[in-house]
Amino acid sequence: MTAPITISRRSALQGAGALIVSFSLARAGFAQGASETPEGKAAPHLPGSLAVDPHLDAWIRIDADGSATVFTGKAELGQGIKTALIQVAAEELDLPPARITMITADTGRTANEGYTAGSHSMQDSGTAIRNAAAQVRELLIAEAGKRLNLPAGQLKAENGAVIAPDGGRLGYGDLVGALDLHVAAAEISTLRDPKSFKILGTPMRRVDIPAKVTGGAAYVQDMRLPGMLHARVVRPPSYGATLKQVDMAAVEAMPGVARVIRDGNFLAVVARREYQAIKAMRTLAAAAEWQEDAHLPQQGDLAAFIMGMPSKDYKILDQHGEAGAAVLSLEVTYTRPYMLHGSIGPSCAVAHSEDGAVTVCTHTQGVYPDRAAIAELLRLPPDRVRLIHVQGSGCYGHNGADDAAGDAALIASKMPGTPVRLQWMREQENAWEPFGPAMVTKARAALDASGRIVDWNYAVWSNTHLTRPGPAGTLLAGQHIAEPFPVPEPKPIPLPEGGGDRNAIPIYTLPNAEVMHHFLPDMPLRVSALRSLGAYMNVFSIESFMGELAAAANVDPVAFRLNHLDDPRARDVVTLAAERFGWDGRPKSQDGRGCGFAFARYKNLAAFCAIAMEIETERETGRIRVRRAVAAVDSGQIANPDGLRNQIEGGILQSASWTQYESVSFDTARITSIDWATYPILRFHAVPDSVEVHLIDRPGLPFLGAGEAAQGPAAAALANAVADATGQRMRDLPLTAAKLKAAIGV
Amino acid sequence: MTQLMVNGQTREVDADPDTPLLYVLRDDLELHAAKYGCGLGQCGSCTVIVDGEAALSCVTPLLLVEGRSITTLEGLGTAEDPGPMQQAFIEEQAAQCGYCIAGMMMRAQALLQKNPDASDAEIREALEPHLCRCGTHMRILKAVHRAAGLMRAASAAPAKGAA
Ligand code: FES
Ligand code: FES
């Protein structure tokens, strides 16, 4: 067995080999091709990301053997986007998926599609690839028509070839030689009729899974380049701490240590072996003396602190009309704590500086914006820096990925010629990643005698949900070096996407409604985008409140929602989730069991998602367990139904974890939730018996992002079920056992 | 030099005896399936099998495994010729980012080797030390049940052994 295993290891490492090739390509390719800034060629009238780069060959290239290489500026984050985009290209090109190679986010090769975030990938990149593929197919058909002297209308594309009426075939590889695909896309594409789809909409197996379940080189954490050294950083003990002194000599003498780096408050070690780097990191951390200067808020009184912070106020909805007389009104406050992304694999990057150019392999969500930050950090022109996305552990938003890329690039730039792999430690990830911000919401509504909402008033207090790169000051390394870069002013994300106010405007039909966004510029804790941003909290609040109002009106919660819902697609998902759950015949609330329902359209413009949940609670301990969840989802045209189900299932479980357990803890200066004991998340004992996801396909309608659609509805369905099960309305996240026990305990 | 049996082969490594097995596997033996998640024994992503028992390689120093038999995910099969546990995870598409999955599979493998008819409750209990942040739990459970079925079928058909 010796030989075969060795060989299979080698072949499994081909991923890393390919990256080595890319490293040299990086130098040859600097300042040309797709890495140039897209400004000069923007075409805003074109669909999806074709507006960023209209050239067909920026998206699709046909190789001489008739296979295709497809380029996306989006990154695979473990959500199956690579596979879904292959399906899109395969469908419109009429080419078997196995003959398509998908190149993902790489500043040296792909268009600048910004961030892979906000459930935008199918809308942006899927749309661009679909249109580009359709146009390439039509160009191939036209070329075949020229050769055969036949009108294009008599020819069809099938399985990688153009077929003539007499059955003659011209392969794409034969045709492409005469074609120039470096042409701007047309405004209108001849798209395939969804009724004839063969690949799109079918549950294709994900292309990245085999390597992941066999130990193949699947992650940036697994990259091993020749001559590569291992780095670790030593972070300050708290925000803003300054390094008074450190004795580096003892660390430099440790076995395997190649370099100890100090640049202001930035400290790092580089060693031959990974564990040597870890030991050196610990010794260096022990030797460092810091002056701490952080003043964090009182955790016990977070809501009052947040509402007392200076704010910039925006009225984001103000509508008034005829309505019945109010007979009843309710006013409540909801709160959420700071929350972790908490990737299972701490952030990692591999960087290499050579001939004045730096290449970084990173699991960032935005290779171009992170490149801008790193170029500024290293004081290099952007065209001397290349970022290549390589998968990491799931990120769920802006975690430590960009910072780790910055750390690795800075270290590598101080050691030209040596590839450097840097990984954060668990405690660094937990203490230094930008958290999902703590938030407070206040809701007030009035009902008329018929149980209709006649007045709605809602306010949300929140930090920004966006401190991503851009500028070098967004990176920890940029803040910690001797000549630091300024941290940019936080800004709210404008609606309709929104940040803290994402989904703050209810989708329900309301005669009178006012919604305020209190934007809080001061950030005592480092914060940024966590999956679904403010939507998690706003949907939790609005949908909990809908449950409270339905109870006050004595109307069934599903009927209450339908009474206020006009959008037919919204009504369809609500009805389907209720039906499949068996809502009308659901078990009565008894013995600590109960059911809850919630619904939202993500961002009010992406996927529709309704969730019904049955839970059980334990009186003695206050413990909650979801027994079953049933979701219904409409995300427009479905690319990969199994991939979509996987996303929604995952969203429900992740949101159940956020909602039941999670809260960043801190004392007056330091973050104290630095591992999985101090920041507990969902474990198997609390995993539901079943989770069902029902999909409504809308062939021919636009792709709607669904990757974040379940987060808010799952949280509110859970809280509504707790209220049903125990009679206790819990409004202060997380809904921990301790809180529930205090409310109902014996 | 420390001698180990890794995936059926004798391997010699030259690392400090206090080095956690995780780094020996990844850096010395280029077996990358076991992952660093916490280094604290709290997440399970580094799990391998040592003498038939699931073990957290991040808190197992090299010195404790000298001469013992270690199985990593690479020892269960390849992408071209996956073993039953791997086959089951592919068929159930039981991964999102997949970072936790190698550890889960090794824990499940150790369980099923000892208890081929493990119940759902036993599988959940065995996986309790493991965290998955993507929320892939439902599929992981389905995949382990499927793996148990594939293993039983393979041992019933004597032509081809499963483990
Ligand atoms: S890495 Fe070993 S248990 Fe987390
Ligand atoms: S699949 Fe991502 S952590 Fe489990």
Q: Give the DSSP letter of residue A382.
A: G
Asked which of B75, B93, B111 is the last residue of a domain, the reply is B75
What pLDDT, on a 0 to 100 scale, did the predictor assign at position A471? 96
- CA of residue B68 relative to chain centroid, distance: 16
- Find the helix packing angle between A127-148 and A81-93, rounded to 10°: 30
Does A329 fall in a domain? Answer: no
- Token pair of A698 as six digits: 């809308």
In a domain, B163, yes or no: no
For A292-302, what is each residue's pLDDT tens digit?
A: 998 999 999 99
What pLDDT sits at residue B158? 63
Token reading at A720: 């509504």
Asked whether residue A450 falls in the same domain as residue A577, the answer is yes
Q: Please check whether residue A135 is in contact with residue A186, taking contact to mean a CB–CB distance below 8 angstroms.
A: yes
Q: Note the pLDDT tens digit of each residue in A485-530.
A: 999 999 999 999 999 999 999 999 999 999 999 999 999 999 999 9
On the question of pLDDT at A326 being above 70, the answer is yes
Other beta carbons within 10 Å of A291: 12
Pseudo-torsion of CA B48, B50, B54, B58, nearest 10°?
A: -50
Same domain, B110 and B69: no
* pLDDT tens, position by position, A362-403: 999 999 999 999 999 999 999 999 999 999 999 999 999 999
- Which residue, of A193, A213, A233, is where some domain finishes? A213
Same domain, A377 and A445: no
The more confidently predicted of residues A323 and A8 is A323
Same domain, A166 and A238: no
Residues of A in contact with B78 (CB under 8 A): 8, 12, 214
Pocket test for ligand 1, best of B56, B106, B107, B128 (most atoms within 8 A of CB): B56
Question: Are A704 and A123 a contacting pair, CB within 8 Å?
Answer: yes
Mean pLDDT of A589-606: 96
**CA dist., res. B123 & res. A690, Å (int):** 15
Point out the ligand 1 atom lying closest to the alpha carbon of residue B39: 1
Residue positions counted in chain A? 746
The DSSP output letter for B29 is: S
Domain match, B16 and B66 both: yes
Alpha helices, DSSP H only, in A595-703? 641-661
Q: State how far the alpha carbon of A746 is from the alpha carbons of A389, A590, A620, in Å.
A: 53, 16, 6
Residue with the bigger pLDDT between A17 and A371: it is A371
Predicted local distance difference test score (pLDDT) of residue A258 = 98
Residue A9 has pLDDT above 60, yes or no: no
Q: Which residue has the tokens 């395997």?
A: A256
Residue A582 belongs to a domain: yes
Peptide bond into A437 cis (omega under 30): no
* Closest C-alpha among A104, A380, A417 to residue A259: A417
Which of B9, B13, B26, B32 should one mutate to test binding to chain A, selecting the residue with the greatest count of A CBs within 10 A? Answer: B32
Tokens of A668: 């007056």
Give the domain-ending residue among B50, B75, B100: B75
User: Which pair of structure tokens corresponds to residue A477?
Assistant: 């390394």
What is the value of ipTM here, to two decimals?
0.96
Longest dimension (CA), chain B: 45
pLDDT digits (tens, 9 = 90+) for A198-218: 999 899 999 999 999 999 988
Same domain, A156 and A224: no
The predicted-structure confidence for B40-75, as pLDDT tens digits, reads as follows 999 999 999 999 999 999 999 999 999 999 999 999
Look up the CATH number of the domain holding residue A391.
3.30.365.10
Q: Do residues A402 and A459 both lie within one domain? A: no
- Residues in CB range of A364: below 8 A, 6 or more apart: A75, A370, A387, A389, A401, A402, A405
- Residues 107-126 of chain B with CB under 8 A from chain A are 124-125
Beta-ladder partners of A385: A358
Does residue A43 carry a pLDDT above 80? no
- Measured from the Cβ of residue A181, the count of other Cβ atoms closer than 10 Å reads 18
Please say which residue of B28, B46, B75 terminates a domain. B75
Residues A625 and A661 in one domain: yes
In this structure, are B104 and B134 located in the same domain?
yes
CB B43 within 8 A of CB B70: no
Confidence tier at A3 by pLDDT (50, 70, 90):
very low
Residue A179: inside a domain, yes or no? yes
Choosing from A168, A193, A213, the residue where a domain stops is: A213
Q: Let me know whether A130 and A231 are in one domain.
A: no
Q: Does B33 contact chain A (CB < 8 Å)?
A: yes
In this structure, are B64 and B91 located in the same domain? no
How far apart (Å, rounded) are the C-alpha atoms in residues B17 and B5? Answer: 16
- Which of A380, A405, A427 represents a domain boundary (last residue)? A427
CB count within 10 Å of CB A504 equals 27
**Beta partners for A259?**
A270
| Residue B129 domain-assigned (yes or no) | yes
Residue B161 lies in a domain: no
Look at B74 and A691 and tell me if their CB atoms are within 8 Å: no
Check: pTM over 0.80? Answer yes or no: yes
Residues A417 and A514 in one domain: no
A13 & A36 share domain? yes
b/e sequence B137-151, b meaning 16+ C-beta within 10 Å: bbbbbbbbbbbbebb
Q: Is residue A379 part of a domain?
A: yes
Which ligand is closest in space to the CA of residue B48?
1
pLDDT of residue A121: 87
State the alpha helices, DSSP H only, in chain B: 21-23, 62-65, 84-91, 101-114, 120-126, 137-156
Q: Are A175 and A141 in contact (CB under 8 A)?
A: no
Q: How many domains does chain A fold into? A: 3
**A29 within a domain of the structure (yes/no):** yes
Euclidean distance between CA atoms A679 and A405, whole angstroms: 25
The SS3 assignment for A513 reads strand
Residue B8 lies in a domain: yes
Identify the residue whose tokens are 């660390």: A251
Q: Which two tokens stand for residue A375?
A: 């170029």
Distance (angstroms) between ligand 2 centre and the Cα of A599 equals 26
Do A139 and A179 meet the contact criterion of CB atoms below 8 Å apart?
Answer: yes
Closest partner CB to A212 (pick from B15, B38, B101): B101
* One domain, residues A234 and A168: no
pLDDT value at A29 more than 90? no
Report the CATH number at residue B147: 1.10.150.120
- Specify whether the CB–CB gap between A190 and A155 falls below 8 A: no
Could you tell me if residue A392 is inside a domain? yes
Residue A31 has pLDDT above 60, yes or no: no
Domain residues for the domain of B64 are: 2-75
Using an 8 Å CB-CB cutoff, list chain A residues near B128.
683-685
Residue A41 pLDDT level (bands cut at 50, 70, 90): low
Select the more confidently predicted residue: A78 or A425: A425
pLDDT at A38: 38
**pLDDT of A40:** 43
**A487 domain residue, yes or no:** no
Tell me the residue range of the domain where A419 lies. 220-293+341-427
Is residue A21's pLDDT more than 50? no
Is residue B26 domain-resident? Answer: yes
- Pocket residues: Cβ below 6 A from ligand 1: B 36-39, 41-46, 56, 58
Nearest one of A160, A140, A134 to A152, comparing CA atoms: A140
> Same structural domain for residues A135 and A185?
yes
pLDDT digits (tens, 9 = 90+) for A623-674: 999 999 999 999 999 988 998 999 999 999 999 999 999 999 999 999 999 9
The whole-angstrom distance between residue B160's C-alpha and the CA centroid of its chain comes to: 21
Question: Tell me, what amino acid is at A551?
Answer: A
A746 — pLDDT class (breaks 50, 70, 90): low
Instruction: Identify whether the C-beta of residue A530 lies closer than 8 Å to the C-beta of residue A341.
Output: yes
Q: What's the rounded Cα separation, in Å, for the pair B49 and B7?
A: 10
Contacts of A217 in chain B (CB under 8 A): 32
Residue B18 lies in a domain: yes
In this complex, is the C-beta atom of B101 within 8 Å of any C-beta atom belonging to chain A? yes
Over residues A726-733, mean pLDDT: 97
Cβ–Cβ below 8 Å for B99 and A344: yes
Q: Tell me the pLDDT tens digit for each residue of A359-372.
A: 999 999 999 999 99
Q: Which of A24-28, A60-64, A74-78 has the lowest mean pLDDT?
A: A24-28
Asked if residue A228 and residue A209 are part of one domain, the reply reads no
Q: Which residue has the tokens 């930050």?
A: A373
CATH number at residue B54: 3.10.20.30
Average pLDDT over residues B83-98: 97
Distance separating alpha carbons of residues A470 and A450, to the nearest angstrom: 52
Q: Are residues B88 and B71 in the same domain?
A: no
* Predicted pLDDT of residue A441: 98
Band of residue A328 on the pLDDT scale cut at 50, 70, 90: very high
Three-state SS for A291? strand
Looking at the structure of chain B, the number of domains it has is 2
Q: Does B162 fall in a domain? A: no
Helices (H), ranges, A201-273: 209-212, 249-252
Residue where the block lists tokens 């190679």: A101
Query: Would you state the structure tokens that stand for residue A280, as one six-digit string?
Result: 């050196």
Mean pLDDT of A456-461: 98
- Mean residue pLDDT of chain B comes to 95
